[in-house]
Amino acid sequence: MIIGSGNHRYDMNPAWAQLPESIRFGYCHGIVTDSEDNVYVFHTNAPCVVKFDPEGRYLASWGDEYEGGAHGFYLHDEGGEQYLYITDTARGSVVKTTLSGEKVLELGAPDLPNAYDAERKYVPTDVAVAPNGDIYVADGYGQNWVHRYRANGEYVGSFGGTGSEPGRFKCPHGISVDVRRGEPELYVADRGNHRIQVLTPDGEPIRIIDENMDMPCSFFFHGDEMIFPDLHSRVTIFDANDTFVTHLGEDQLAYKQQGWPNLPESYFRGNRFSSPHGVCADRSGNIYVAEWTVNGRVTKLTKM
């Protein structure tokens, strides 16, 4: 099934992932590709990390310990070594691992009595790493803060808090560091405010992007373009100037259905998305989309 137009035409395959009988997807929240274009899916059933080759063939799995809380998922190259950064919403933790699941670093809730207590929970949803190694954690389902750490886990500071004014958030669901303009800029998917905020590495507001989106979840930068899953049933591409390029697989009826995002499989259409939650691209520009649905769905968009 061909979707898109112009330079953004793709063959859409929602049955790409070939799972063994012993594994069943839960909510598919995160997805990344490594330097060899292998694909890792992060979902809420055990084992939570499932590795596939570019053709969708199953390779390996691990990560039972993240069952029920698997959420943010980010792959970062550090001096030729690749690592996965994971957020676990059920356990309130951020974990750095090797590609095979060996734990390297773990971050718990920051010691901030003015922000967190027994009633005000810390629920991290995404993580990003800057060129200097600093780690940024978005507390998207908790108290709407972004926390900054050094590469060794040393706490640096926090910014944000609940609100709609620049620099404040309402569900900072996804976070990424963009270097397309030369200097690092922090992109935050301020999902509850229906916008993207761009900030300095210190958390100072730079600009707000609030057109041609509804509920942005996260980001993936590929070349000069930014790809992001819009939970309201589409994947969106912006150019290097943060200008709209196209929507892919848009379904303006899906998110309006009773029970969404947990719609029955009988509703799904092969050329439409229901609830895109994670996205990535390989070296050839093929796009992979993870959806938050009852049985999970992973789709490959092969660039034409």
- Domains of the chain in start order, with CATH, are 2-295 (2.120.10.30)
The per-residue pLDDT for 73 is: 98
**pLDDT for res 264:** 84
Tokens of 206: 């730079």
Distances (CA, A) of 205 to 49, 76, 160, 163: 34, 25, 10, 13
Q: How confident is the model at residue 241 (pLDDT cuts 50, 70, 90)?
A: very high
- Residue 226: per-residue pLDDT: 98
Tens of pLDDT, residue by residue over 19-55, are 999 999 999 999 999 999 999 999 999 999 999 999 9
Q: What is the pLDDT of residue 269?
A: 86
| pLDDT above 90 coverage of the chain, percent | 96
Q: Are 171 and 192 in contact (CB under 8 A)?
A: yes
The predicted-structure confidence for 163-176, as pLDDT tens digits, reads as follows 999 999 999 999 99
Q: Tens digit of pLDDT for each residue in 174-233?
A: 999 999 999 999 999 999 999 999 999 999 999 999 999 999 999 999 999 999 999 999
Question: Would you state the structure tokens that stand for residue 223, as one six-digit string?
Answer: 């070349």
Torsion of CA 28, 33, 38, 43, to 10 degrees: -20
Cβ distance 75 to 47 under 8 Å?
A: no
Q: Which residue has the tokens 């049933």?
A: 233
Taking Cα atoms as reference points, which of 105, 200, 182 lies closest to residue 146? 200
Query: Residue 266 has what DSSP assignment?
Result: G
- Kindly calculate the radius of gyration of the chain based on its CA atoms and give it in whole angstroms: 18
Q: What is the pLDDT of residues 244-292, one digit of tens each?
A: 999 999 999 999 999 999 888 888 888 999 999 999 999 999 999 999 9
